[in-house]
A and B are shown apart, each in its own frame.
Chain A
Amino acid sequence: MRLKLLMYGVLLVCCVPFVFPIWWMATTSLKPVAEIFAFPPSLLPGSPTLDAYRQVFELQPFGRQYLNSLYIALVVTIGTLAVSALAGYAFARVKFRGAGVVFVVVLSGLLVPNEVTIIPLYRMFDAFGLVDTHWPLILIPMLGAPSVLATFIMRQFFITLPTELEEAGRVDGLGRFGLFWRVCLPLARPAIGAVSIFTFLHSWNLYLEPIVFLSSKQKFTVPQALTQYVDAYGGPMWNTQLAAATLSALPVLIIFILAQRQFVEGLAQTGLKG
Chain B
Amino acid sequence: MTLLLKELSAGAPANADKAPPYWTMRRRDTLAGWLMVLPQLAGIVAFVIVPLGLVVWYSVHEWNVLGGTFEFVGGDNYAALADDQRLGPVLRATGLFSFGLVVLNLSLALFLAVLLNQKLRGTVVFRTLFFSPVVVTLVAWTIVWGFLLQDNGGVNGFLNVLGIDGPNWLRSGGTAMASVIVVQLFKNAGLNMVLFLAALQGVPAELYEAARIDGASAWARFRRVTVPLISPTILLTMILTIVGSLQVFAQIAVLTQGGPETSTTVLVYYLYQQAFQFHHFGYGSALSLLLFFIVLVLTVVQWRMRRRWVFHEA
Contact = CB atoms under 8 A, between A and B. Distances in A.
| A complexed with B | yes
Interface of A: 4, 7-8, 10-11, 14-15, 17-19, 21-22, 24-25, 28, 37, 39-41, 82-84, 86-87, 89-91, 94-99, 102, 105-106, 108-113, 115-124, 139-140, 142-145, 147-148, 151, 175-177, 180, 201, 204-205, 207-208, 211-212, 222-224, 226-227, 236, 238, 241-242, 244-246, 248-249, 252-253, 256-257, 260-261, 263-265, 267-269, 272-274
Interface string B236-257: 1000000100110110011000
Q: Which of B48, B51, B148 has the most CB of A within 10 A?
A: B48
Interface in B110-149: 112, 115-116, 118, 120, 124, 126-141, 143-148
The dominant DSSP class at the A interface is helix
Q: Which of A15, A177, A204, A208 has the most CB of B within 10 A?
A: A208
B47 A145 contact: yes
Given A223-B139, A268-B197, A18 B44 contact: no
A188 B38 CA distance: 21
B226 interface: no
Contacts of A4: 120
Nearest to B59: A119
Contact of A19 (B49, B129, B235): B129
Could you say which interface size class chain B belongs to? Answer: 35 or more
Contacts of A28: 144, 147
Given A4-B120, A11-B126, A253-B135, A207 B253 contact: yes
Given A19-B132, A226-B143, A119 B47 contact: no
B152 interface: yes
Contacts of B44: 105-106, 108-109, 143-145, 148
Interface of B: 26, 28-34, 36-37, 39-52, 54-55, 58, 108, 112, 115-116, 118, 120, 124, 126-141, 143-148, 150, 152-154, 157-158, 160-161, 182, 186, 189-191, 194-195, 197-199, 232-233, 235-236, 243, 246-247, 249-250, 253-254, 268, 271-272, 275-276, 281, 284-285, 288-289, 291-292, 295-296, 299, 314
Contacts of A180: 36
Given A21-B148, A96-B30, A147-B40, A118 B253 contact: no
A207 B138 contact: yes
A268 B250 contact: no
Given A116-B292, A118-B288, A227-B143, A140 B115 contact: no
B51 A117 contact: yes
A168 B109 CA distance: 44
Given A143-B47, A144-B44, A40 B233 contact: no
A269 B199 CA distance: 9
Given A90-B32, A119-B284, A148-B44, A256 B132 contact: yes
